[in-house]
């Protein structure tokens, strides 16, 4: 069965997203996570096992042991793939181990960041890769009961995961005394109710306990007092799936892939005004320009248009104009990795974030898209912190006025002031996520905001256009 046909069927039923069949699963260079994505039937245990699945479990449980697994993950340099980029091995090493108290691993599958859909593809098409990673990670952390907290809108994927868990259990990879080692492990799937805030790890834990998904004050951190007040590690889907190739290859070999502190491969959710939207696995050595324009990846800007801007790491990271996306402020080539994308700080850089790569062509309106994001964050704020609760609504109203011809020039400075009072003043990062897009839009596209205010009638009929956003940056020559 070919790729397009497989994308149309889930459990023998029509996919709820048939419009996504044109998306690509193209992996150039090193293949670690999506290497087997095109193998017919890879979603099922027999095929996955035939293709080498669960080898890492055998190696981990029979040869390595918990401490050695943690050391391999540390050696690999694996960073959290959910957005923060914190070293996974270091996070694991923080877990408390009080005698007689159960420990838990929780997989954060609450993928709700606009522009990000990589975890959905992993779970939908290669669920056993996640299950395998969870078993190895659970063994390393001493978790006998492990949880997958999945986004409420991913209802059809719950069935896929539960089927994969049942297959793994029926074949001895889950349950009691796995591989005769004395290690017991069960994996439970918990569906969320569709709240973006539950992607924050402590809000997720509150929801998992059956409470309202409000973020907790830290400390104590989940590694000490997590779900049901027990030591808990929360990791992203892609992070846990990456444990499989780390154990199979070895941490040092994995660390040789990529560049610097951006080791291994990274899944990128590419969307927007490009010819080939989809999920791509990259080794983080390619340039942003190659990723956008190469036929091996995004295939260039759709309909022959020009690149205007891009949000390179999901909706919460700063937007960059074309000239700062392809080159740094120093005139150097910008690459698809953690360090290069953040080069220049927020003044001229952005973040890798969750890997949600959203491309805007010359016809897109930055003010309108900023309003869309502000509306989203206002709607998703839990309301626990005053700066976020009040500030997100205030920003949405001001942006609405600017977009629809009722704004004032003073509103632009007011917007920047509001976002600065939200950033860093909330319990969880949602406040920052709401503030950063507004700050970056004003920082890099201020003249477009001013044009909307000064030309209210014209702005309702056409967009500002490309303007100077793709012009080469002048880099002073030092003698």
What does the block give as tokens for 408?
């004032």
pLDDT of 476 strictly over 70: no
pLDDT for 26 equals 42
pLDDT for 29 equals 63
Distance of CA 172 to the CA centre of its chain: 32
Correct CATH for 31-256 of 3.30.450.20, 3.40.50.11540, 3.40.640.10, 3.40.50.2300:
3.40.50.11540
Give whole-number Cα distances, 341 to 182, 187, 311, 344, in Å. 45, 36, 11, 9
pLDDT of 16 strictly over 60: no
HEC string for 397-444: HHHHHHHCCCCCHHHHHHHHHHHHHHCCCCCCCHHHHHHHHHHHHHHH
pLDDT of 15 strictly over 80: no
pLDDT above 90 as % of the chain: 89
Tens of pLDDT, residue by residue over 26-44, are 434 678 999 999 999 999 9
CATH code for the part of the protein at 366-460: 1.20.1440.230
Per DSSP, what are the bridge partners of residue 320? 310
DSSP state of 58: H
pLDDT for 320 equals 97
Handedness of CA 410, 411, 417, 420 (dihedral sign): negative
pLDDT for 83 equals 83
pLDDT for 406 equals 95
Better-predicted residue by pLDDT, 473 or 250: 250
pLDDT for 474 equals 65
Tell me the C-alpha distance between 220 and 201, whole Å.
13
Give the list of residues 6+ apart from residue 477 with CB closer than 8 angstroms, or none.
none
pLDDT for 85 equals 85
pLDDT of 412 strictly over 80: yes
Give the list of residues 6+ apart from residue 6 with CB closer than 8 angstroms, or none.
40, 125
DSSP state of 63: I
Tens of pLDDT, residue by residue over 94-127, are 999 999 999 999 999 999 999 999 999 999 999 9
pLDDT for 82 equals 87
| Among the ranges given (23-32, 224-233, 336-345, 381-390), the one the predictor scored with the smallest mean pLDDT | 23-32
Letter string b/e over residues 167-192, b meaning 16 or more CB atoms within 10 A of that residue's CB = bbbeeebbeeebeeeebebebebbbb
Tell me the C-alpha distance between 7 and 1, whole Å.
10
Whole-structure pTM value: 0.90
pLDDT of 174 strictly over 60: yes
pLDDT above 70 as % of the chain: 93
Average per-residue pLDDT in the chain? 91
Average pLDDT rounded to a whole number, residues 464-470: 89
pLDDT band at 22 (very low <50, low <70, confident <90, very high): very low
Tens of pLDDT, residue by residue over 145-167, are 999 999 999 999 999 999 999 99
Please report the beta strands in 169-277, taking only residues with DSSP state E, as ranges in sequence order: 175-178, 183-191, 232-236, 258-259, 262-263, 266-272
Tell me the C-alpha distance between 192 and 75, whole Å.
34
Start and end residues for every CATH 1.20.1440.230 domain found in the chain:
366-460
| Among the ranges given (172-181, 207-216, 316-325, 468-477), the one the predictor scored with the smallest mean pLDDT | 468-477
pLDDT for 2 equals 37
What does the block give as tokens for 449?
């905001």
pLDDT band at 23 (very low <50, low <70, confident <90, very high): very low
What does the block give as tokens for 70?
């943690």
Tell me the C-alpha distance between 79 and 324, whole Å.
25
269: left (phi over 0), alpha (psi -120 to 50) or beta: beta
Residue recorded with tokens 């303007």:
467
Average pLDDT rounded to a whole number, residues 68-81: 95
pLDDT for 5 equals 33
Start and end residues for every CATH 3.40.50.11540 domain found in the chain:
31-256
Tell me the C-alpha distance between 373 and 361, whole Å.
18
pLDDT for 437 equals 96
In the three-class reduction of DSSP (H, G, I as helix; E, B as strand; rest coil), residue 321 is classed as strand
Average pLDDT rounded to a whole number, residues 427-451: 96
- Omega before residue 219 within 30° of 0, cis: yes
């Amino acid at each position: 069965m070919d790729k397009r046909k497989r994308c149309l069927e889930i459990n023998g039923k029509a996919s709820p997203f048939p419009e996504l069949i044109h998306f690509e699963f193209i992996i150039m260079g090193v293949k670690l996570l999506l290497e087997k994505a095109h193998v017919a039937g890879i979603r099922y245990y027999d095929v996955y096992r035939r293709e080498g699945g669960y080898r890492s479990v055998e190696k981990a449980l029979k040869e390595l042991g918990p401490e050695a697994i943690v050391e391999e993950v540390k050696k690999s340099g694996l960073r959290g793939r959910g957005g923060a980029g914190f070293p996974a091995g270091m996070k694991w090493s923080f877990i408390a181990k009080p005698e007689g108290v159960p420990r838990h691993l929780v997989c954060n599958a609450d993928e709700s960041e606009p522009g990000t859909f990589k975890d959905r593809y992993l779970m939908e098409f290669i669920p056993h890769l996640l299950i395998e990673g969870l078993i190895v990670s659970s063994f390393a952390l001493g978790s006998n009961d492990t949880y997958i907290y999945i986004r409420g809108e991913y209802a059809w994927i719950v069935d896929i995961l539960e089927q994969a868990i049942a297959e793994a259990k029926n074949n001895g990879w889950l349950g009691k005394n796995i591989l005769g080692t004395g290690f017991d492990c069960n994996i439970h799937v918990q569906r969320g109710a569709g709240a973006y805030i539950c992607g924050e790890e402590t809000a997720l834990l509150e929801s998992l306990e059956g409470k309202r998904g409000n973020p907790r004050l830290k400390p104590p951190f989940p590694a000490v007092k997590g779900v049901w007040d027990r030591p808990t590690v929360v990791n992203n889907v892609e992070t846990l799936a990456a444990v499989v190739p780390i154990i199979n290859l070895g941490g040092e070999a994995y660390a040789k892939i990529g560049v610097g502190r951006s080791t291994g491969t990274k899944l990128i959710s590419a969307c927007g005004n490009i010819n080939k939207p989809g999920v791509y696995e990259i080794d983080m050595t390619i340039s942003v320009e190659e990723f956008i324009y190469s036929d091996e990846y995004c295939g260039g800007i759709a309909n022959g248009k020009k690149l205007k801007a891009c949000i390179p790491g999901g909706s919460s990271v700063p937007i960059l104009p074309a000239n700062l996306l392809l080159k740094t402020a120093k005139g150097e080539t910008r690459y698809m990795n953690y360090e290069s994308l953040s080069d220049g700080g927020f003044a001229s850089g952005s973040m890798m974030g969750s890997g949600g790569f959203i491309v805007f062509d010359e016809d897109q309106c930055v003010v309108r898209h900023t309003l869309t994001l502000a509306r989203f964050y206002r709607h998703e704020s839990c309301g626990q912190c005053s700066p976020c609760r009040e500030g997100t609504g205030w920003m949405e109203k001001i942006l609405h006025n600017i977009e629809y011809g009722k704004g004032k020039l003073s509103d632009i400075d007011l917007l920047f002031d509001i976002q600065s009072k939200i950033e860093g003043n909330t319990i969880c990062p949602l406040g920052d996520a709401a503030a950063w897009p507004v700050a970056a839009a004003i920082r890099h596209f201020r003249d477009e905001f001013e044009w909307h205010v000064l030309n209210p009638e014209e702005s309702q009929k056409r967009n500002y256009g490309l303007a100077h956003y793709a012009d080469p940056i002048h880099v002073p020559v030092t003698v």
